[in-house]
Structure 1
Amino acid sequence: MTSQESFKRRVRERMARTGERYAAARRSLLTEPPGTSSGWVSEPELSDERVRDATGLGWDEWVARIDAGPGRSASHPEIAAWVTEHAAFSGWWVQTVTVGYERITGIRLPGQMPDGTFTVSRSRTLDVDRETVRARLLDDGGPDTLVPGLALTARSRPGVKSPRFTVTESGPDGEADRGMLMLSTDVVGQRCRVTVTHERIGTPAEAEQWKKFWAEWLVTVADELGADGGDPAR
């Protein structure tokens, strides 16, 4: 379905819901601010048009249906199970609808996982081959040699594409758990993209701090290797 056809369908749905004529319904949709104008707490990952094309319903319709079903007091598994039972799709789209509902209603904040913790990710593309990057990050003393004050303990077998580490921080009261880290290196032409994914962060404020921390850390890696690809950490 083209975007124009999808928009016309939304106009007709509004006409049926509000009793407006076509021109008035169309004008209302064109001037309506996206997302938060409907009372959304935060935006879902995918657009209304894309989720409608894939599932047959838009976000506001999914919110209304789930509100009338398990409701906002339900857990993530309970909502996902209800969507699975009442939809003609499963797997990835069930999770997309469930997480989108949780984002819109404020049950789940951006970056928040089902267990309540937060995940952030930063990446940077470097003008150097993947083997050189992996040798520096994983073989030459490990990634924590570039992050004073943090200890990264390997939690995956040697040689995996995206190794995982527990993160601890030393302080006056001893070591503190700072979550889980995953390092990914991907070939991009003759260059290498390094991605840092930090999981199990306790609060949104800490998540924002770690975003900045790992963006700066990637700049340090690029500077040490003399391999900045001109691609800012994001």
Structure 2
Amino acid sequence: MAEKQGAAPDVSDATIRENTGRGWDEWVALIDAGPGRAAGHAAIAAWLVEEHGVDGWWAQGVTVGYERITGLRLPGQMKDGTFSVSRSKTLPLDGAEFRERLNDDDARAALLPGLSSQPRSKPTTKAPKFSLADAETGENVGVLQFRVEPAAAGCKLVVTHEKLPDPQAAEKWKQHWGDWLEDLTVEQ
């Protein structure tokens, strides 16, 4: 059976070595010799903690990197098989006012033309989430999360679109949210 072609991990070899004591080649060889590629994400991460004393956060990072290197996980792919993309931009807008717009159904509809959205979290949560659907067809198009962080010139707005079905949808929505942030800059 041919080995899957992988992608580079998000964390550099130097950083992973500094924080875990090993580089990517060593981790791939160890995991392949240990639980192996069929073990699954949770089992590999637990093995790293239990057998190698890797901190839980870094065990997750090593596992995701391993999955990317070995072709078990594509860039942006989550452990449930769906994809996630994020875009961010520092904007000259008031973060509290933007949050108010998100909490108002009509204002949110104006912010998200062509989409219908339903809140999935409490209005006071730090990073509110919304179920998204195509406004015309009603087709589910994933989950959208906003994070508004203070910045010197307004706020940094982070838009994360989750539960996308494939890399093509992820690329399409990544472009969409980048354009949306640019348009939002113009509107302000």
Q: Identify the range of structure 1 (130-139 vs 158-167) with the bigger mean alpha-carbon deviation.
A: 130-139
- Among 169, 172, 178, which residue is 1:206 paired with? 169
Q: Which has the higher contact order (CA 8 A, sep 6+)?
A: 2
- Among 16, 19, 26, which residue is 1:61 paired with? 26
Give the alignment of 1:34-53 within 5 angstroms. Answer: 41-53=6-18
- Answering whether residue 42 of structure 2 is matched by residue 77 of structure 1, we say yes
Q: Distance in 1 between matches of 2:5 and 2:139?
A: 36
Q: Identity over the aligned pairs, expressed in percent?
A: 48
Q: Structure 1, residues 141-188: CA drift from partner, whole Å, max 9, x if none?
A: 2433233221111111122221110011144xx421111110111110
Q: Identify the range of structure 1 (93-102 vs 132-141) with the bigger mean alpha-carbon deviation.
A: 132-141
Partner of 2:87: 122
Q: TM-score, normalised by structure 2?
A: 0.91
Q: Distance in 1 between matches of 2:42 and 2:105?
A: 42
- Among 171, 193, 208, which residue is 2:156 paired with? 193
- Among 88, 92, 106, which residue is 1:141 paired with? 106
Q: Distance in 1 between matches of 2:71 and 2:46?
A: 19
Shift of 1:222: 1.7
Q: Distance in 2 between matches of 1:149 and 1:128?
A: 23
Partner of 1:167: 132
The structure with the largest alpha-carbon Rg is 1
- Answering whether residue 150 of structure 2 is matched by residue 182 of structure 1, we say no
Q: TM-score, normalised by structure 1?
A: 0.74
Q: Is the 8 A contact 1:133 1:192 kept in 2?
A: no
What count of residue pairs does the alignment treat as equivalent? 185
**Partner-residue secondary structure (3-state), 1:72:** coil
Q: Distance in 1 between matches of 2:122 and 2:39?
A: 37
Q: Distance in 1 between matches of 2:23 and 2:157?
A: 35
Give the alignment of 1:151-166 within 5 angstroms. Answer: 151-166=116-131
- After TM superposition, what 4+ stretches of structure 1 lie above 6 angstroms from structure 2? none
Shift of 1:72: 1.4
| Aligned partner letter, 1:63 | V
| Aligned partner letter, 2:134 | E
Distance 1:146 1:215, change over 3 A: same
